[in-house]
Amino acid sequence: MGGPLSRNRIVRTAIELIERDGVNAVSMRRLAAELGTGAMSLYNHVPHKAALLDAVAEHILAELEFAADSDIPDWREAARSMARTFRDIAHRYPRSVMVVVSRQPNSAAGLRPVELALGIARAAGFDGPAAVRVMRAVVNYVLGCLVHEASQTEAQWASEDRPLVTTAELDAAGLVNVRELLPALAEHDSEADFEFGLDLLISALDALPRTSPHTAGWKG
Amino acid sequence: MGGPLSRNRIVRTAIELIERDGVNAVSMRRLAAELGTGAMSLYNHVPHKAALLDAVAEHILAELEFAADSDIPDWREAARSMARTFRDIAHRYPRSVMVVVSRQPNSAAGLRPVELALGIARAAGFDGPAAVRVMRAVVNYVLGCLVHEASQTEAQWASEDRPLVTTAELDAAGLVNVRELLPALAEHDSEADFEFGLDLLISALDALPRTSPHTAGWKG
DNA sequence: CATCGCGACGTACAGCGTACGTGTGACCAC
DNA sequence: GTGGTCACACGTACGCTGTACGTCGCGATG
């Protein structure tokens, strides 16, 4: 069914399964059934389940490479572009985000976002430890946004638009600010919020003194 | 052994178990053994395992309430203090961080950080959607830092100071920036990086125009 | 004393990851 | 052609998981 078994086909099907039924629904047997084979056949292509999930993370992260545009002269625009690309990919695989994020980023594939961000930081004129700090500031912000949105998405999947928390509970817990701003919290535009924080961070970084000359982004 | 079984004792022991052996090592049987009882006894206090992990998250998040100091007049200092407190708690339970983060934050307990951050944003003179945006910017940044550090910690636990990635692999993958900045990446001071991004973000937010008068933090 | 309810505990079952053995077909040396 | 080798699909089996259900002991209440 669907051609010969291969590591790539297994990984792609695993991603489909995660997106359709959630991470917890992924088992070797179910995945094999999806592929029309026996569970043990998978082990000819993947050493164990953890490695499979690593491969899933790697596969998704690999899309960054193709999507990232490294020819943008203005480093602020390049950084924004990379962050948006990252977020777009996360939106394409919403239920896989936590899988990707929770894998240790020490494989060569996991370090690709770091590589790209470091390149941009250096192009902006930051060097050595400064580049690392700048890179981490924006990567961590983006990471937090993705985790946040993934949480929201999963919560939505879990409870089919049933009220997640009642105002009575909020009052009981003394969460007055949440209670008052509940409409603003509920109808918030996560896209706009993402851009807001991103612009803020990048502008602040751009205003920092440099340790080495940079190619673009002087404040006129 | 150790007094009567209770929900609180179960949750505390679960946290100990996570910190000692990792999340994957937590099973109802092992947890029960740790408590000196049978596995099924736990179900008199907790409906199922997922609820137990929810309770773990809630228990850890509850420490924010006691630790948070809401009497700081300067909103920037208040925000910094809250962020640091959050991070301190994460450092006290390093291997539980991903559990807390990956639970849906829609319980009253999970919304406590949101509540505190919203309070600070409003005290800073932001209101309505602006308060929500400001709150989210800093919360997402802090969240990203915690996830990042948790990943690092878990990686360290997983491989007892064996080299995680070789320079040869980096070259093969074309990660030139990572390769060159590897020393800076390795010996980086995560505390300093955290403060760097936090200050940057808070200062940038403080420079924003307000929609309502605020009590402190004017730029002189 | 009889009764009741709560909570600790054992048993049982479906499902999990995966170690191991077997079978089958494609390839190659002679 | 024939025998050997190898890759890979597949079945079986084991120890572990979460948890539904039944039982039993014990303190409180009539």
Task: Report which of residues B45 and A166 the model is more confident about.
Answer: B45
Lowest mean pLDDT among A202-216, B57-71, B79-93, B186-200: A202-216
Band (B5; pLDDT cuts 50, 70, 90): confident
pLDDT of residue A3: 65
Please report the pLDDT score of residue B218 as a whole number.
Answer: 39
**Which one is predicted more confidently, A130 or A110?**
A130
Residue A217's pLDDT is 42
User: If you count DSSP H runs as helices and E runs as strands, how many of each does chain B have, helices first?
Assistant: 11, 0
Q: Grade residue A218 by pLDDT with cuts at 50, 70 and 90.
A: very low
Residue B67 φ then ψ, to 5°: -80, -30
Lowest mean pLDDT among B11-15, B28-32, B142-146, B207-211: B207-211
Lowest mean pLDDT among A94-103, A204-213, B42-51: A204-213
Which residues, including other chains, have CB under 8 Å from residue B105's CB and lie 6 or more apart?
A151, A155, B111, B113, B114
Query: pTM of the entire structure?
Result: 0.92
A5-19, A60-74, A109-123, B156-170: range with lowest mean pLDDT: B156-170
Which residues 6+ apart lie within 8 Å of A194 measured at CB? Answer: A83, A87, A145
Structural contact between residues B191 and B204, judged by C-beta atoms closer than 8 angstroms: no
**Rounded to an integer, what is the distance from CA B27 to the centroid of its chain?**
23
pLDDT digit string (tens) for A87-127?
999 999 999 999 999 987 777 888 888 999 999 999 999 99
CB A181 within 8 A of CB B131: yes
Q: Return mean pLDDT, chain A.
A: 89
pLDDT in tens, A29-40: 999 999 999 999
B219 has pLDDT over 70: no
Minimal-distance CA residue of chain B relative to A120 = B177
Q: pLDDT (tens digit, 9 = 90+) per residue, A171-200?
A: 988 899 999 999 888 888 899 999 999 999
pLDDT band at residue B217 under the 50/70/90 scheme = very low
Which residues in range 22-61 of chain A are in contact with strand C, contact meaning CB within 7 A of any of its atoms? 26-30, 39-40, 43, 48-50
Q: Please, are residues A145 and B147 in contact by the beta-carbon 8 Å criterion?
A: no
Query: Quick one: how far is CA B47 from the chain centroid?
Result: 26
What does the alpha-carbon distance between residue A111 and residue A96 come to, in Å, rounded to a whole number? 18
CB proximity under 8 Å: A 142-181 to B: 142-145, 147-148, 151, 154-155, 158, 164-165, 169-170, 172-173, 175-178, 181
Interface contact B77, partner A, CB < 8 A: no
Asked if the Cβ–Cβ distance from A178 to B111 is below 8 Å, we say yes
Mutate to test the interface with B, among A143, A153, A167 (most CBs of B within 10 A): A143
Q: Is the Cβ–Cβ distance between A88 and A195 less than 8 Å? A: no
The dihedral sign for the CA sequence A130, A131, A132, A136: positive
Nearest-CA neighbor of B122 among B219, B220, B212?
A: B212
Nearest to A169 among B108, B131, B145 (CB): B108
Query: In this complex, do B193 and A148 lie within 8 Å of one another by their Cβ atoms?
Result: no
The lowest-confidence range among A15-29, A205-219, B109-123 is A205-219
DSSP reduced 3-state for B206: helix
d(CA B210, CA B201): 16
d(CA A214, CA A147): 32
* Tokens encoding B101: 């983060």
Least confident of A68-72, B132-136, B202-206: A68-72
pLDDT reported for residue A93: 98
Whether the per-residue pLDDT at A27 is higher than 50: the answer is yes
When comparing pLDDT for B189 and B70, which is higher? B189
Residue B17 confidence (pLDDT) above 50: yes
Of A5 and B1, the one with more pLDDT = A5
